[in-house]
Amino acid sequence: MELKLDPWGAVHVDDYNKLFLEFGISSFEEILPQLKEPHQYMARKIIFGHRNYDAVLRAMQKHEPFGVMSGFMPTGRAHFGHMMVMNEIIWHQQQGGDAFAAVADMEAHAVRGISWERCRSLGINEYILSLIALGFEPNEKSHIYFQSKNYKMRNLAFELGREANFSEVSSIYGFSGETHISHMESVMAQSADILHPQLKEFGGPKPVVIPVGADQDPHIKLTRDLAYRMRKFLVEQREGYISIRGKAADQELMAAAEEALLETGLGRVKRYEEHIDLTEIQDGLGRGPAALLEEIDRIIINLEIEHGHYGFIPPASIYHRFMTGLTGGKMSSSKPESHIALTEDPKEAGKKIMRAITGGRQSLAEQKKLGGEPDKCSIYEFLVFHLSQDDRELLELDAECRSGRRMCGTCKKDVAERIERFLREHQQAREAARERLPEFGIKNLG
């Protein structure tokens, strides 16, 4: 059966390898060795794929500007699945990245019909407080915002709309004649969310990573295409030379690009009507092809900005596995029994854990004989994703489960205790975060 990624639908992925083959997502495992201290999600292969994360990694390692951006649609309570995105934003901020977190109230209002008042209340009381409690810090390069109040983003969405057409967007998202215009506009707002950290007001173009679940990949692919279309030049590595192609550059801009390339002294510059070739490249710094290509692209990007254009770099993305719902399938905000909210009463959360579907067998005798299946267990998943920092402990639990030495009831009781403890501590941190809302420019609703 063909796998369809729908940002607003119910997506369940049984085989993540299909995403590499069918959607062109790259395996994160290939670049994992380049990270000295990877996030737990990376090390445990919860983050399984990426698009162009190499550029973010290079900027991180060279202490150059980079950013992280993601958002939350305020349609219900924030749960442990949402917390994964929050933790990924915070980790990249801690690595030195400019961090942007959006409350997608325009999307929630357009797609789900949530009132503006409800969007704001959920945005603050469910998502923003938890984000701050988990460690998001205020600074001049990091921002938490509501889509409806971010006019720089909204102006950019209008500009991006000139580069997209109805048939294209309809094909990507399955829109029909019944789809209302506001829903379509929310798509452009999503793309503008992703690209606006590269505006001049926020330091200009830089690699920006978007942490998401695989169901959000249509937004990423569309935005990467739009970033490309907004560029005036395309810088490409050819066999033995670099080609700078004028996609939409007038003769004045072409002449300026020629002059800028001549000033680098990197090689022979030859200008044609619609492109410029840099040949016989001599790089005294010994940079490799990828680094040299980035350097030339940066020169052209700066040139585009000087002439009043955007110079966007296509955004990168990382993809994490979906958490399994407590009732099976994907964890979903619309199914309260499938998830544990970050604002859940700790005791009620513990009861949910005790009722959850596990990877155990039909009977104790069968469990002892055949062993359990921790890779299919939502309870074990809570430990892997959130509740255990000890890899050796996880390996031991996995072995005990598979051998039939550990019963599901024992695991449930252990995880219930851990989750109750986590929620009590997190909810205390949320109350402290409420007092800090003004630091982020957000009025406390109480």
Residue 329 belongs to a domain: no
* Banded model confidence at residue 13, pLDDT cuts 50, 70, 90: very low
Give the other-Cβ count within 10 Å of 77's Cβ.
18
Residue 46 belongs to a domain: yes
**Close Cβ partners of 412 (under 8 Å, ≥ 6 residues apart):** 353, 354, 356, 358, 379
> Side-chain half-sphere of 393: how many Cα atoms within 13 Å?
9
How does DSSP classify residue 406?
Answer: S
Q: Which amino acid is at 244?
A: I
Residue 112 belongs to a domain: yes
10, pLDDT greater than 50: no
pTM of the model: 0.91
pLDDT at 23: 67
Residue 417 belongs to a domain: yes
How does DSSP classify residue 123?
Answer: I
- In a shared domain, residues 213 and 90: yes
pLDDT at 18: 66
CA distance 353 to 367: 19
pLDDT at 184: 83
Residue 294 belongs to a domain: yes
Burial class (CB in 10 A: 0-12, 13-18, 19+), 414: middle
Could you tell me which residue, 8 or 69, shows the higher pLDDT?
69
First and final CA of the chain: distance in angstroms? Answer: 48
Residue 157 belongs to a domain: yes
C-alpha distance from residue 119 to each of 124, 213, 260, 422 (Å):
9, 22, 48, 26
**Residue with token string 């929630």:** 108
CA distance 222 to 190: 10
pLDDT at 211: 97
Question: How many degrees, rounded to 5, is the angle at CA 49 between CA 81 and CA 89?
Answer: 50
* DSSP collapsed to 3 states, 254-283: HHHHHHHHHHHCCCEEEECCCEEEEECCCC
16, pLDDT greater than 70: no
208 — phi, psi (to 5°)?
A: -130, 130
Could you tell me if 193 and 102 are in contact, meaning their C-beta atoms sit under 8 angstroms apart? yes
CA distance 187 to 97: 25
- In a shared domain, residues 287 and 432: no
- In a shared domain, residues 206 and 108: yes
Reported as a single tens digit per residue, the pLDDT across 237-266 is 999 899 999 988 899 999 999 999 999 998
CA distance 85 to 20: 21
- In a shared domain, residues 44 and 60: yes
Read off the CATH number of the domain in which 128 is found.
Answer: 3.40.50.620
C-alpha distance from residue 183 to each of 153, 172, 191, 216, 217 (Å):
17, 13, 13, 16, 18
Reported as a single tens digit per residue, the pLDDT across 202-244 is 999 999 999 998 888 889 999 999 999 999 999 999 998 999 9
- In a shared domain, residues 29 and 145: yes
pLDDT at 240: 87
* Banded model confidence at residue 9, pLDDT cuts 50, 70, 90: very low
- In a shared domain, residues 361 and 394: yes
1, pLDDT greater than 60: no
- Please identify, among 276, 306, 336, the residue that sits at the C-terminal boundary of a domain: 306
pLDDT at 359: 64
Question: How many degrees, rounded to 5, is the angle at CA 199 between CA 62 and CA 156?
Answer: 145
12, pLDDT greater than 90: no
4, pLDDT greater than 50: no
Residue 277 belongs to a domain: yes
Read off the CATH number of the domain in which 404 is found.
Answer: 1.10.240.10
* Banded model confidence at residue 285, pLDDT cuts 50, 70, 90: low
Overall domain count for the chain: 3
pLDDT at 409: 87
- In a shared domain, residues 222 and 244: no
Residue 219 belongs to a domain: yes
pLDDT at 360: 61
300 — phi, psi (to 5°)?
A: -70, -40
- Helix residue ranges per DSSP H, 162-247: 166-173, 181-195, 217-230
* Banded model confidence at residue 7, pLDDT cuts 50, 70, 90: very low
Mean pLDDT estimate for the chain: 89
Read off the CATH number of the domain in which 281 is found.
Answer: 3.30.1360
Domain range spanning residue 366?
344-440
- In a shared domain, residues 414 and 361: yes
Reported as a single tens digit per residue, the pLDDT across 121-176 is 999 999 999 999 999 999 999 999 999 999 999 999 999 999 998 888 888 878 77
